[in-house]
Structure 1
Amino acid sequence: MWTWRHRAWGARRRRRGLRARLTRMFALVAVLAVVLTTVLTVGATFRVLAQFNPEVGTGATWDAAAWQQVASGAGRSIVRSAVQAAFLSALLAIFVAGFVTRQLTRPLARLADGAERLRAGDRRVQLPIPPRQDELRDLTATFNDLTLSLARQEAWRRGLVADIAHDLRTPLAVLRSEIEAMQDGVQPLDGAALTRLHGEVLLLARLVTDLRTLSLAESGVLSLEPRPLDGGEALRGLAEAYSVRAAEVGVTLSVHAPAPLPLYADPDRLRQALGNVMDNALRYAAPGPVELSARQDADGTHLSIRDHGPGFRPDDLARAFERFYRADASRTRDPQGRASSGLGLAIARALVEAQGGQLAARNHPGGGAEFTLRLPSDGGKIQRIKNGN
C-alpha cells in the first residue's frame, strides 16, 4: 500500500513539476503561434479571393498582364500577412519566455544569494518558499533545512569546544594550585598530596581517552570483534564486577535474566557500554536497589538497567545522551569520589549503535530511571552496517 501511494504521489508531483510547467508553456506558445499564423494567412487569402468574385461568371477574359498584376498583388498580400504573423508570434514568444524566465530565475537568484550569505558565515539564512509545488520549491526547502542543520551543528560545535575547555580547565587548575602550594611550602609533599595529583591526572587521561573512543565510534572506524554472547551472562558478569563498589555506596544489585538469551556483540565494547550505564546508576541512585534484566523479542535482545533514584526531569531526559551534559551539575563525581568525564552515556550509545543496536532511556512507571540496550540476536545486522546498508 505504501509503495503504491508513494508512486502515485510521485506521479502527481511530476505532473505539477517544473518540467511539466515548461512543457505546457512551450506547447501554449506553439499553439498560439500556429493559430495566429493560420488566422492571418487564411484571412489574407480570403481577401485576395474576394478580389476575383466580381469577375466570376461574367465571361470576362483576362489578359496576361492583368493576371500577372493580380497574382503579384495577391502574393504580396499573403507574404505581408505571413510576416506580420511571424512578427506577432515572435513578440508573443518573447513575452512568454520573459515571464517564464522571471518565474524560474527569481527563486534561483534567491538561492544564489542565500548560498553566498552561507559561504560568508551566516548559518541562519532562510529563504521564502515558492508557492508552486515543483522542484524549485523542493530545492528551496532543502536549502532551508541545510542551513538549519548547519546552524545546529555550529552551535553544537561551539558548545562542545566550551565543554571540553571547561572539563580540561578544572583538573588543570587543581594541579596548578596543588603544585604551586607545594612549591611555596604551604602544602607538604606527602603521599596524600601525590594521591590527589594522581587522581587529577587520571581524570585528564580518562577525558582524552573517552573523547577518542567517542570519535571513533561515531565515525564508524571503531575496531569491533563481535561474537555470539549470552545476555544473561553479560548482566551477571556486570553485577559481579560492580558488587564491591555497589555495596560500598549502599546499592543492592539483582539480576533477572532467563538463559539463554543470545546476542551478537563485541564483548569488550558491550562491557564498556554496560559499565558506563552502571556508573550512571550508582552516581544517581545510591543508596537503593538497581535491577538488571534481560529479555528477547523479534527486534533482538534487550538488556535493561533500572535504578530507584529520582529519575529524569523532562528536560534532562531529552538531553540524557548529550556530551558533557549532567542532570545535576554538582555531581561530577560518584559517591566514592571517582571523577566523571560527562561522556559516559554518549559513549555507551555510540558503542551500542556501532554494533547495530540502540540505547534508550526513560522514566520507569514504578519510579527511577531505566536504560535499555537493544542488540541484534545474530550477526546479520552488524554485517549490513559494515557493508553500508
Structure 2
Amino acid sequence: MGKTQERLRARRRVQLRHLEGWPGRPRGKRRRWGLRNRLGRAFTLTALLAVILTTGMTVGTTMQVLAQFRPETSVTLTAADWDALVRQAGHTIMGGAIRAAIVSTLLSTVVAALITRQLTLPLLRLADGAGRLQAGERGVTLPVPPRNDELRALTLAFNELTVSLARQEAWRRGLVADIAHDLRTPLSVMRSEIEAMQDGVQPLNGAALGRLHGEVLLLARLVTDLRLLSLAEGGALSLALQPVNAGETLRALADAHARRAAEAGVSLSVQAGPAVTVQADPDRLRQTLQNLLDNALRYAAPGAVELGAATSGDRAVLTVRDHGPGFAPDSLSRAFERFYRADASRTRDPQGRASSGLGLAIARALTEAQGGTLDARNHPGGGAEFTVTLNTPPS
C-alpha cells in the first residue's frame, strides 16, 4: 500500500477521533458534555417535567373533587345520587387531566423548540456552507458554536476543509500554470526552429535536428516524470521491496556519474559501511539517489559532493551533501514543490542537460512510497544536505 493512502487513512482516523472528542479537554468531560448526552438529558428532563406536571395537576384536581363532593355524615345518599356524584367527579378529574396534558404538551414543545434551534442552527450553517462550496466559492468560514460538543468539532473540521480546499485550488492553478510554462518553452523553441527551416533562414542539418531532438527529449522527460509522480503519490506504483546494500548502490551511482562530475568540476566521495542495508526497491532507490545527485551536480558545481550511508537503530540513513551555497531561507521550505527552482533561469546544468523541475518531488514521493522519509536542510558546515531515511530489513 502506498504512503499516500496510509496518510489518508491516518487523516480519516484523526478526523473520526476529532468528531468523537475534541482535543484539549479530559475524556470524561467530553463524554459529560457531548451532544448525545445533552440530548438525552434534555429530553429526560422534559419528560420528567411533563410527568410531574400532569401528575400534580391530576392529583390536585382529584383532591378538589373529593373535598367538594365529600358527603356529610348526616346525609344519606341514594344509589342514583351516588352514581351521579361519581360521574360528576369523573368528568371533573378527566377535565383536569386534559388540561394538565395540554400544559405539558405546550411546555415540551417550547423546550424542544429551544433545544432543536440550538442544534439545527449550526447544521443549517453547515448546509449553507456546503452549498456555497458546491457553487464554487472558496474560503467559506462558519462561526464556531460555543459549546464543546460534536457540532463544534464538525464546524471546526468544515472550516479546516475549506482552508485546505482553497490552498489546493491555489496550488492546482499554480501547477497548471507551471506545466503550461514548461510545455510552452520547448514547443516555442521547436516552432521557431522549424519555421526558420521552412523559411530557409536556418539550414536543415544535423545540428538543427540535434537541437530539435533535445527539445523532444525534454518534453518526453516531462511527461514521464509527471506520470511517475502521479503514480507514486497515488499509491499505484509497483514496488518490489527487498534488502538492498546501500553502500554498493552509492558507489555504483558515483562511478556512473564520475565523468559528468569531473566535467562539472565536482569531486565525488562515498562514505558507507558494507553492513548498511535498507528495505527498498533497488530501481526506485537508485532513481531517488540519482535525482538527488543530479540536483547537487546541477546547482552546487563546482565543489565537492559527499554520499553517505549509516544505520540508526532500525532505520538506515542515506545522505547526499554538497558544498555549494545551500538553500535560501525562502527556498528550503519549497525545495520539494513541483516545478520549483531556486533559480528560475537555471533550467539546465552546465552541460546543457534538460531538467523537468520534478526531480526532488519525485525523489520524495518515491521515498515515501517505500515507507521512508526525505528531508532537506542547510548543513552546518555549509552546502545543502538531503537525508533519505528507510527501514532496514526485518531480522
**Same fold flag (TM > 0.5):** yes
Residue 123 of structure 1: CA displacement?
Answer: 2.8
What does residue 28 of structure 1 align with?
Answer: 45
What does residue 236 of structure 2 align with?
Answer: 221
Amino acid at match of 2:86: A
Residue 14 of structure 1: CA displacement?
Answer: 2.9
Pair 1:12 & 2:17 matched: no
Residue 262 of structure 1: CA displacement?
Answer: 1.0
Task: Give the Cα–Cα distance (whole angstroms) in 2 for the partners of residues 262 and 235 of structure 1.
Answer: 12
Aligned residues: 374
Task: Give the Cα–Cα distance (whole angstroms) in 2 for the partners of residues 72 and 353 of structure 1.
Answer: 86
SS of the residue 1:378 aligns to: coil
Task: Give the Cα–Cα distance (whole angstroms) in 2 for the partners of residues 204 and 350 of structure 1.
Answer: 21
What does residue 360 of structure 1 align with?
Answer: 375
What does residue 376 of structure 1 align with?
Answer: 391
Pair 1:285 & 2:317 matched: no
What does residue 248 of structure 2 align with?
Answer: 233
SS of the residue 2:309 aligns to: strand
Task: Give the Cα–Cα distance (whole angstroms) in 2 for the partners of residues 232 and 174 of structure 1.
Answer: 42
Residue 296 of structure 1: CA displacement?
Answer: 0.6
Task: Give the Cα–Cα distance (whole angstroms) in 1 for the partners of residues 28 and 124 of structure 2.
Answer: 28
Amino acid at match of 1:319: R
Pair 1:191 & 2:206 matched: yes
Pair 1:244 & 2:259 matched: yes
Amino acid at match of 1:157: R
- Which stretches in structure 2 are left out of the alignment for 5+ residues? 1-16
Pair 1:41 & 2:58 matched: yes
Residue 263 of structure 1: CA displacement?
Answer: 0.8
- 1:76 aligned residue (76, 87, 91): 91
Task: Give the Cα–Cα distance (whole angstroms) in 2 for the partners of residues 49 and 182 of structure 1.
Answer: 118
Deviations 1:223-271 (A, max 9, x none): 2222211111111111111111111111111111122101121111111
- Across the aligned residues of Structure 1 and Structure 2, the Cα RMSD in angstroms comes to 2.1
Pair 1:117 & 2:124 matched: no
Query: Mean alpha-carbon deviation: is it higher for 9-18 or for 214-223?
Result: 9-18
- 1:170 aligned residue (167, 185, 190): 185
> Identity over the aligned pairs, expressed in percent?
68
What does residue 349 of structure 2 align with?
Answer: 334
Task: Please give the TM-score of this superposition, normalised by the length of structure 1.
Answer: 0.90
Pair 1:93 & 2:108 matched: yes
Query: Mean alpha-carbon deviation: is it higher for 73-82 or for 312-321?
Result: 73-82
Query: Mean alpha-carbon deviation: is it higher for 80-89 or for 9-18?
Result: 9-18
Q: Is the 8 A contact 2:122 2:145 kept in 1?
A: yes
Query: Mean alpha-carbon deviation: is it higher for 321-330 or for 98-107?
Result: 98-107
Pair 1:106 & 2:121 matched: yes
What does residue 129 of structure 1 align with?
Answer: 144
- 1:319 aligned residue (334, 340, 359): 334
Residue 277 of structure 1: CA displacement?
Answer: 0.4
Cα distance, 1:111–1:180 mapped onto 2, change above 3 Å: same
Amino acid at match of 2:376: A
Deviations 1:145-203 (A, max 9, x none): 22222222222221111111100100111111112122222222233222222211111
After the TM superposition, which parts of structure 1 deviate over 6 Å for at least 4 consecutive aligned residues? none
Cα distance, 1:299–1:123 mapped onto 2, change above 3 Å: farther
Residue 348 of structure 1: CA displacement?
Answer: 0.7
Deviations 1:92-122 (A, max 9, x none): 1111121122122211211221121111111
Q: Is the 8 A contact 2:69 2:85 kept in 1?
A: no
Q: Is the 8 A contact 2:35 2:149 kept in 1?
A: yes
Amino acid at match of 1:45: T
Task: Please give the TM-score of this superposition, normalised by the length of structure 2.
Answer: 0.89
Pair 1:257 & 2:272 matched: yes
Deviations 1:280-331 (A, max 9, x none): 1111211111111111112411100011111112221111101000011111
Task: Give the Cα–Cα distance (whole angstroms) in 2 for the partners of residues 107 and 144 of structure 1.
Answer: 13
Task: Give the Cα–Cα distance (whole angstroms) in 1 for the partners of residues 40 and 120 of structure 2.
Answer: 17
Pair 1:268 & 2:283 matched: yes
Task: Give the Cα–Cα distance (whole angstroms) in 2 for the partners of residues 229 and 296 of structure 1.
Answer: 13
Cα distance, 1:227–1:348 mapped onto 2, change above 3 Å: same
What does residue 349 of structure 1 align with?
Answer: 364
